[in-house]
Structure 1
Amino acid sequence: MNVERMNKKLTKKVRVGNTFIGGDAPITVQSMTNTKTEDVKSTIEQILKLEEYGCDIIRVAVTNFESASALKIIKKNIHIPLVADIQFDYRLAIESAKNGADKIRINPGNIGDKEKVKEVVKVLKYYGIPLRIGVNSGSLQKELLAKYGAPTADALVESALREVRLLEELDFTDIVISIKSSDVLTMIKAYESVSQKVDYPLHLGVTEAGPLIKSTVKSSVGIGVLLYKGIGDTIRVSITGDPVEEVKVGIELLKSLNLKKYGINLISCPTCARCNVDLISIADKVERRLTSIKEPLNVAIMGCAVNGPGEAREADIGIAGGNKNFVLFKKGKIEKTVAESEVVDVLIDEIKKLLDEKKNIVKRQ
């Protein structure tokens, strides 16, 4: 279930494989593999793992004809739309489209002249495949760098609009736009600007955002500000590390803005001197054991038995620690007391029962 934003800009709706970007479609979470695409086995394994964690669209780098050919097999073994990322050789975009890519991403700063783009568009039209214009502050056209002196927001937007105009001249409008910068404020300004100028769906992201913590902060600020303003149709959190973390952060980001209802929403206190239980370890164990659950559920893990149930009143179910014991509560009402040594297993069992009850209610309806 997804929650519609107030004042969201209604953009053009673009089909990508078995899903949609833009218009009234839910905001999707994307990631990109870090395997060699031609290593088909490893790439498929990573994509399937990303699917388990809720990834909606996956992108792979196509750097040579071997990796373009690999898309045929990859496509047959995954369940989410497959995007081919092309940086320099327009011929790889054509081969990727022929081999089953659901979307092509090109970088205007790298792809080349109009004739090359024209050849790509012919194939995309034939197969009914959309194109993402992926502008990046690290690979802006030289003339725009000379004009603006730096990869400013205006320079990034001009790069994107040049490509948009070219595609429109070629009567091609199945377009998604991204304008990424490693500088959060530049990224925000660029997306705000381009959103006022076009109605194409926007792919949000802070590029080269760094390791987990730095990227989570940068992406949450940059993407979060824009989503709150109603700008953006799909997101990718760029993290130096395991792409699974990108999906986790992306989903949590959407959940924090009430834009997505998915999986366990874990509510836990930071602990203080009143805490007489090993809350950090317990919270970690519960989170790991609930990873596979996709049904939305609010679970609270609190360190104080006095205030815990009240502080987490809106939680569907939770525990609050006392002196080597926990109280189990549902919707703020205490159900029973559980020993600390047993609390994780008891909580997991109660959560499963609660989810089964919800499923039965839905079936009866």
Structure 2
Amino acid sequence: MKLKKLKWVHNFLNIYNPLFGKMKRTDTFSSDIQFNSILIFSTTALGDFMFNTPAIRAIRAHYPDAHITLVSSEKNRLLVENYNQVDSVVYWDNKIRNLLPIALQAKKYKPELAVILHSHLPYDVLFAVMAGCQYILRNTYDVIPKWFRKWIVAEYEPQSGHFIQRKLNLLSKLGITKEISPEMELTCKFISLEKSKKTIIGFQLGTSSPIRTWSISHFVQLAEKLIDSNPNIVIKLIGSSRELFLSTDFLSKINPNYSDNIIDLIGNTSLPDLISHIDNMSVLVTGDTGPLHIAIALKTPTISLFVTADPKNSGPYQDIDIHQVIKKEHDPSYEHPMEQINTDEVFQAIKNKL
């Protein structure tokens, strides 16, 4: 959190809100208020949005007649544009230069409450105030300074536990206290592929951060070991166009004798296509990244690899019996943290799943 930005927004809102805003004091907030128009913020990565779907579903159930506007990101457009839990969507890139026109789009729905599940502080708070909200409920990832708390109803210290559960816990402030299913859901339509006679194993080669990415050499070793164990296995490489260099590296390193068992889909699928392929896999091998959470929502078995990330926060949180997490405590003696996970243990985990 950058305190300089936080102070700028705080000072600006102290001037703006009395003149043009509708924000009320946080001590007047009550779960008894019947909100008729709500903004829900989920403006970050695909996986973050997947974590938010149980909370969004619960908000819709609690306010069945409210107009719910989702503030999402352009990169998640295909995922959310026909989302049946919301009434409208506006797309914002978290940048201040684009904030005003998008906030004005949201303002036409006359929102009274903003529920910020995952976005970037403090511009999301600025957005909510300029859109005309009276209260802001926010999931907390950073300690909120006391002087900024006048704008937010929240736990002001970061919470522990899985990200899905943290968001569900936040909803208690709205009076949503009954047990809520933590199951994520896919929010766009996709075509179910015909089941293959082959055993399809997915490799998600990349993650959002290099420090969470297993090496291509390990993926190559794993592919060769799997195909040697069963020639009926087909490896599907998945990833975004930003990860084309990973498939190039993979294909340059693998023995050409295995090429008939490799299908490279990296950069060649739309989001609905990607979901269709993951749905058709026997198991997906992946780090902590969006396709892991798509697979979990689809109930496709996964082998997920964690070292610097904590699966207690972002690993599987439903259907635990079909997912295996390989977690290593970070050993600084390794040049790259993910090198602590060796090929043999991932191979054995896949064999156990199959």
Q: Same fold (TM over 0.5)?
A: no
Q: Which has the higher contact order (CA 8 A, sep 6+)?
A: 2
